[in-house]
Amino acid sequence: MRARDTWVLLATIVGSSLVFIDGSVVALALPEIQREFHTSAGNVAWIVELYTLVLGSLMLLGGALADRYGRKRIFILGAALFACSSIGCAFAWSIPSMLVARTIQGLGGMLLAPASLAILGDHFSGDARGRAIAAWSAFSALTSTLGPALGGALIDTFGWRSVFWITVPLAALVVVSSLRHVSESRNPDAPRELDLLGALLGTLGLGGITFALIVASSSGWRNPSVDAAAAGGVALLGLFLVRERRARAPLVPPAIFSSRTFGAINLATLFLYGALGGLFYELPFAMIQAHHYTALQTAFATLPMPLALVVLSRAGAMLARRFGPRLVLTIGPSVVAAGFALLALLEPRQGYVVGFLPGLLGVGLGMGITVAPLTTTMIGAADAGDVGIASGINNAVSRIAGLLAIAALTVLLAALYDRSMNRSLDALHATAHQRLAAAAQSDRLGGAHFSDPAIARASIHAFESGFRGVAFACALLAALAAAVDALGIDEAKLR
């Protein structure tokens, strides 16, 4: 590989890693943020959800901007914006100030992510593209692995604010290497106008549904604001679909989904990354609040999953070339589903090696043989001139999947928590005062504190019960991804 190729690969890996690292590191910091700001699980969820909402819903706009106005230019702008907003997060003094900074951070991410893969797809071709994507997947996972480990150490030593400084030097590296080594590229046939109305409708629609799910997790479905937000979100998404069919320059060109394989890959991405996003949002809470791991211990405890992904990423690409992507993309998500099922079935109180490690290894093994073939197949199913928008769509689907899964699975977790807690209170013959105290803290889930040891144990048991239900739901989603890949991929039409 030429030196310039290496620098291009490095810039795209680090650029995409900025977005990936943020999700995993911030998840480690959430329990401490919840304690410092004395807030509910729903408010803490918005720290992840608002970022993901902006990132996912506007990812298509980011892909369109990259194709129209230059992938290098948009890539560098995204890195700079991401770094500045990370500094804002580090200095946040309240939940609202944090949410403002996280919104800006999402804007930076929606420029970075699609431009990163589009630059890679444009710079490399043929077998070199497959090898580059495999390396991109592996090293992006490696940096995402090292990030949480460093973040856990920083949280335990300096507090949660320190984790937001991780991205600043990485962003500087992206900017410098891109300026010196990345060539500008764009789609010359892309229309100059942008579908800003479509972007707004999509963002507001997803925001309404997300708001409804998060509020429902603490106040139930009989809240009028939940019904209004859910109905409004669905209506706005309907208008978004109508808009995209009629717009002269839609964010989602209808023709791009004429490929059955492209549609199947994105539906499988929705299920698979929804499962990953939902479970790995809840996992740090389970390990830190229910099983008393430190942030650093949690970071190292989850290392087997991304390490397995790194080790097997190149193997996944090789298997796809030898046996075809359909077989590999059927087996991979099936193994992921088995890993999630193990996390639900095994008993964490018997120790890490028995309770967590087998499931994490299963998820890592499955993702290791899935990620590179999935990305390569997605790019191969799109026309060469649509690489940027195809990448934007796939990135948007993965982020939206996490957005909706976190919100929906938090509702499931809260419902299972309440059911288990009520049963325990009945068994303990709890007084009216104890029941009121439990109800007052129900929205904190695993972060609730009780002076009565028996009720405190009941709360932890209730949270564990909810987490098991989430893991089972994630196993079902991963199994659906495998089924979609098996039925939907047409290998004969891949370029």
- pLDDT tens-digit readout, 257-288: 777 788 888 899 999 999 988 888 888 888 88
Owner of token pair 């994490």? 360
> For the residues 53-76, what does the mean pLDDT come to?
80
Element (H, E) at 204: helix 196-219
3-182+251-416+466-493: what fold? Answer: Growth Hormone; Chain: A; (1.20.1250)
Within 13 Å, how many C-alpha atoms sit on residue 137's CB side? Answer: 27
Per-residue pLDDT of 137-150, as tens digits, reads 666 656 656 666 67
Neighbouring residues of 389: CB distance < 8 A, sequence distance ≥ 6: 60, 63, 64, 67, 251, 252, 253, 256, 382
Whole-model pTM?
0.78
> For the residues 71-88, what does the mean pLDDT come to?
89
> For the residues 178-198, what does the mean pLDDT come to?
72
Which of the residue ranges 382-386, 387-391, 405-409, 476-480 has the most confident prediction, judged by mean pLDDT?
A: 476-480
Which range among 76-85, 92-101, 187-196 shows the weakest confidence by mean pLDDT?
187-196
Residue 142 confidence (pLDDT): 63
Distance CA 349, CA 203 (A): 41
Q: Which position has the higher pLDDT, 11 or 1?
A: 11
Neighbouring residues of 237: CB distance < 8 A, sequence distance ≥ 6: 201, 202, 205, 206, 209
> For the residues 31-40, what does the mean pLDDT come to?
80
Q: Which of left, alpha, beta for 38 (phi over 0: left; psi -120 to 50: alpha)?
A: left
Percent pLDDT > 70 in the chain is 84
Residue 244: is its pLDDT beyond 90? no
Residue 137 confidence (pLDDT): 66
Q: Which position has the higher pLDDT, 483 or 178?
A: 483
> Quick check: helix, strand or coil at residue 187?
coil
Reported as a pLDDT band with limits 50, 70 and 90, residue 128 is low
Reported as a pLDDT band with limits 50, 70 and 90, residue 123 is low
> For the residues 180-205, what does the mean pLDDT come to?
75
> For the residues 68-91, what does the mean pLDDT come to?
87
Residue 333: is its pLDDT beyond 90? yes
Which range among 119-128, 192-201, 223-232 shows the weakest confidence by mean pLDDT?
119-128
Reported as a pLDDT band with limits 50, 70 and 90, residue 440 is low
> Quick check: helix, strand or coil at residue 86?
helix
Assess contact for 375 and 117: CB atoms under 8 A: yes
Residue 443 confidence (pLDDT): 62
Residue 121: is its pLDDT beyond 70? no
Residue 445 confidence (pLDDT): 65
Closest CA to 377 of 252, 492, 474: 492
Owner of token pair 């900074």? 101
Residue 442 confidence (pLDDT): 65
> For the residues 407-433, what does the mean pLDDT come to?
81
> For the residues 250-258, what does the mean pLDDT come to?
73
Across the chain, mean pLDDT equals 80
**Residue ranges covered by each domain of the chain:** 3-182+251-416+466-493, 199-250
Element (H, E) at 199: helix 196-219
Residue 363: is its pLDDT beyond 80? yes
Element (H, E) at 25: helix 3-37
Which range among 134-143, 196-205, 250-259, 446-455 shows the weakest confidence by mean pLDDT?
134-143
Return the percent helix, strand and coil in the chain, to nearest 5. 85, 0, 15
Residue 492: is its pLDDT beyond 60? no
Reported as a pLDDT band with limits 50, 70 and 90, residue 334 is very high
Q: Which position has the higher pLDDT, 340 or 492?
A: 340
Residue 393: is its pLDDT beyond 90? no
